[in-house]
Amino acid sequence: MKKDIHPDYHEIDVKMTDGTILKMRSTYGKEGDQLSLDIDPTVHPAWTGSSGRLMDSGGRVSKFKKKYEGLGF
């Protein structure tokens, strides 16, 4: 391995969406920096297994249903 080409690997604080803070080793920032997550495994449906509900952003679902209403969707 070449010397002095790899980033510094150190401990940081990772703040989850519920406010809990975990200590992890990372190359992010500097020693002791905090990384705040917008989405984390404790709430995201991909990890929790719950599908939640379909969000209709900007009426996209409504537009689709109206466009294809005669086809039985």
Residue 25 has a pLDDT of 95
Q: Is the pTM of this model over 0.95?
A: no
Structure tokens that stand for 35 in this block: 């990384």
Convert the pLDDT of each residue in 10-32 to its tens digit: 999 999 888 899 999 999 999 99
Work out the pLDDT band at 48, boundaries 50, 70, 90: confident
Residue closest to 12 by CA, chosen among 41, 35, 37? 35
Residue 43 sits at φ, ψ, to 5 deg, of: -125, -15
Compute the Cα dihedral for 29, 32, 34, 35 and give only its sign.
positive
Q: What is the mean pLDDT of residues 49-59?
A: 62
Convert the pLDDT of each residue in 3-15 to its tens digit: 889 888 999 999 9
